[in-house]
Chains A and B, each alone.
Chain A
């Protein structure tokens, strides 16, 4: 049975997600965030990290149709490959330090039905105890393709499937 290492992310008190082991590259506690006006409600800040300007996307806020937290206690910085094969960086607010897990194929399960936005941002899902944990599609998440003005909870299941 194939296994792969992953980081289990605590997005808020209820929402969990995971990324591949090599996708998370840094954690920043009490980060200094800079607000950018006229931006999507779930992605309103950037941070400076190693001479890079890194967007901070509050995935829990997007999934719930809320505004991004202004002062998250912790953010994870993630690396992903863009369609042009360059490496880019993005940050996700976290409630707690990520936990390392080994995930095997037999843990695969269906995505959580709620919030329905998971269908847009997850590649697949595995079961951790009795909880499904979506695996994030980071290139898509930071691509700018997330709907800005559509409340993800208002979408039908069919509408949530990426075109």
Chain B
């Protein structure tokens, strides 16, 4: 499948919007390795919180699924989540399944997450105004920490 980054101009940086059930997260296109189908996810490898694995060009990636109003990490992939994005920032590699994606050109003005909404290692890095709405920016590193947070808590407290 095509590498998204090869199809975009470096002079016109874009964001990729990942649509989940009740939320939309934006990631820099530079952190997206490729776009795959959920049909290629090996579900038999699922060990919660991992929903499965996917192998691309000989490399196997853990696949995570975010779902619902609380955007919880779930090992069950909803039927309407059809896209699997492979994310790589050079330090973290993971795959995320979502409903659909969209390329967006956004205002360069970023708003920090207001202090009263912030949490340690929060999923959201910043906010941007997109049209009449507010969009949430995240990163591969934050997604990786978020997806593995429950596991870490369970190991420490279980």
Chain A residues in the interface with B (C-beta under 8 A): 32, 34-40, 43-44, 46, 48, 51, 53-55, 57, 90, 141-144, 146, 148
Mostly helix, strand, loop or mixed at chain B's interface?
loop
Q: How far is the CB of B125 from chain A (nearest CB, A)?
A: 11
The tally of CB-CB contacts under 8 A between chains A and B is 70
Measured in the bound complex, the distance between the Cα atoms of B25 and A85 in whole Å is 33
User: Of A44, A57, A141, A144, which is within 8 A of B118 by CB?
Assistant: A144
B152 CB-CB contact with A under 8 Å: no
Total interface residues on B, using CB and 8 Å? 24
B9 CB-CB contact with A under 8 Å: no
B124 cross-chain contacts in A, Cβ below 8 A: 36-39
Chain B residues in the interface with A (C-beta under 8 A): 22-23, 25, 69-71, 111, 113-119, 122-124, 127, 129, 132-134, 136, 146
B146 cross-chain contacts in A, Cβ below 8 A: 38
Residues A55 and B116 in contact, CB atoms below 8 Å apart: yes
Q: How far is the CB of A120 from chain B (nearest CB, A)?
A: 13
Residues A36 and B127 in contact, CB atoms below 8 Å apart: yes
A-B contact pairs, 13 of them (CB 8 A): A36-B117, A37-B123, A38-B122, A38-B123, A39-B119, A46-B117, A48-B129, A48-B132, A51-B129, A53-B127, A53-B134, A144-B115, A144-B116
Q: How far is the CB of B23 from chain A (nearest CB, A)?
A: 5
